Amino acid sequence: MRAVTFQAPGSVAVEERPEPQLSAPDDVIVRVEASGICGSDLHIYHGRVPVEQGFTIGHEFVGTVLAAGTGVERVGVGDRVLGCFHTACATCVACVRGDYHRCRRGRTFGHGSKLGDLQGAQAEQLLVPRANLTLRRVPEGMSADVALFAGDVMGTGYHAVVHAGTRAGDDVAVLGLGPVGLCAVQAARAAGAARVFAIDTVPQRLELARSFGATPVHLTEEEPKRVVREATEGLGVDVVVDAVGDPGPLELAVSLARDAGTVSGIGAYAGRGEVPLGLAWLKGLTIRAGLANVIAHVDRVLALMSAGVLDPSPLVTHHMSLNEAAQAYELYDRREALKIVLAP
């Protein structure tokens, strides 16, 4: 079968690979209908996340169950399914608490041997281990463009908002309107945010955020801190989603947060960072960092997508063929796309 493989920093290829085979009883083989290119794929593309040459990449997918092991209980052959970006064992000390994103045996699709040695989804077929936990049937009538967000980008936006304890009637700010930030805008509205201040520098992204119900604020042409202060009687917002990460607008995030509010750092941090700890302490803030627990959220995210409350389809800017993967990555790398969907 054909698969998109990492070759070297800045280079991917479409190569022929053996079809995956069932080995464990809870394995599933999925014939991929659509896969997405995601911001974290760029980390691989740039060589910042080291992946072996020839490793198949990609971790967002929708497809059909081709084969299922004897222990697979939640889906069956022929089902149209979507998946999460990583697997989890469901029974380790982390999973048993519901912290699936911290599973001690978790494996991430398409991220090389260091993150679990699990071939990726930008391919014609995909092996999904421990499929009972992470695969879901695609709800009737849902497009692949919508469904492939559930277990990755939209699940991450949902996590950023819900994990921060957003309550109906709260005000939220979202810093960074890439796909995750834009999904967080939708999730914030879905979770009852009265107002969402959506902050970025790219006019088209600000406009998308506005169409999702947010108040767009240009990071440099306006003064986000002043805008938020004025709109909130000087209080600031209950929740700030930092969807940028390193080197990160943590400074701005802390300044926008209301006393006793929460900063939800969903964008990846690395290494060490200087943080305005004094201000965070004075305000009594909570800072939550880390990868999203998409497995815990996927059922609720799907329900909201089915109801049309969450609809990431406006984020899909390009549909391309798997064979065009090289061009797709170049285009994505030039930041000309929000989400590219590849069809085999």
260 binds its own copies (CB under 8 A): yes
Contact 7, 329 (CB under 8 A): no
Query: Which range in 114-122, 199-207, 298-306, 335-343 contacts its own copies by CB under 8 A?
Result: 298-306
Site string for its own copies, 77-116 (x = CB under 8 A): ------------xxxxxxxxxxx-xx--x-----------
Choose between 174 and 285: whose C-beta lies nearer to its own copies: 285
The secondary structure of residue 138, as a DSSP letter, is P
Sorted by sequence, the CB contacts under 8 Å of residue 79 that are 6+ apart come out as: 64, 65, 137
* CB of residue 60 to its own copies, shortest distance in Å: 20
Choose between 70 and 327: whose C-beta lies nearer to its own copies: 70
280 binds its own copies (CB under 8 A): yes
Query: Which range in 48-56, 160-168, 176-184, 197-205 contacts its own copies by CB under 8 A?
Result: 160-168
Nearest to 161 by CA among 199, 191, 120, 137: 191
For helices 179-190 and 203-211, angle between their N-to-C axes, nearest 10 degrees: 20
50 binds its own copies (CB under 8 A): no
Q: Beta strands 195-200 and 86-87: pairing type?
A: unpaired
Contact 306, 138 (CB under 8 A): no
What is the per-residue DSSP string for 52-115? -TT-B---EEEEEEEEE-TT--S--TT-EEE--SEE--SSSTTGGGT-GGG-TT-EEBTSTGGG
* Interface residue with its own copies, options 13, 115, 202, 309 (CB under 8 A): 309
Rounded to 10 degrees, what is the CA torsion of 235, 236, 237, 239? -120
Choose between 161 and 209: whose C-beta lies nearer to its own copies: 161
271 binds its own copies (CB under 8 A): yes
217 binds its own copies (CB under 8 A): no
307 binds its own copies (CB under 8 A): yes
* Interface residue with its own copies, options 1, 268, 320, 326 (CB under 8 A): 268
127 binds its own copies (CB under 8 A): no
296 binds its own copies (CB under 8 A): yes
Three-class secondary structure assignment of 76-88: CCCCEEECCCEEC
**Which residues, numbered 169-188, are part of the site for its own copies (CB under 8 A)?**
169-171, 187
Burial, 167: exposed, middle or buried (Cβ in 10 Å; 0-12, 13-18, 19+)?
exposed
Query: Which range in 32-40, 47-55, 303-311, 320-328 contacts its own copies by CB under 8 A?
Result: 303-311
Rounded to 10 degrees, what is the CA torsion of 121, 122, 123, 126? 0
11 binds its own copies (CB under 8 A): no
Choose between 18 and 308: whose C-beta lies nearer to its own copies: 308
* CB of residue 187 to its own copies, shortest distance in Å: 7
* Interface residue with its own copies, options 47, 303, 321, 336 (CB under 8 A): 303
Contact 160, 172 (CB under 8 A): no
Distance, CA of 312 to CA of 179 (rounded, Å):
9
* CB of residue 145 to its own copies, shortest distance in Å: 19
287 binds its own copies (CB under 8 A): yes
59 binds its own copies (CB under 8 A): no
Helix (H) or strand (E) holding 107: strand 107-108
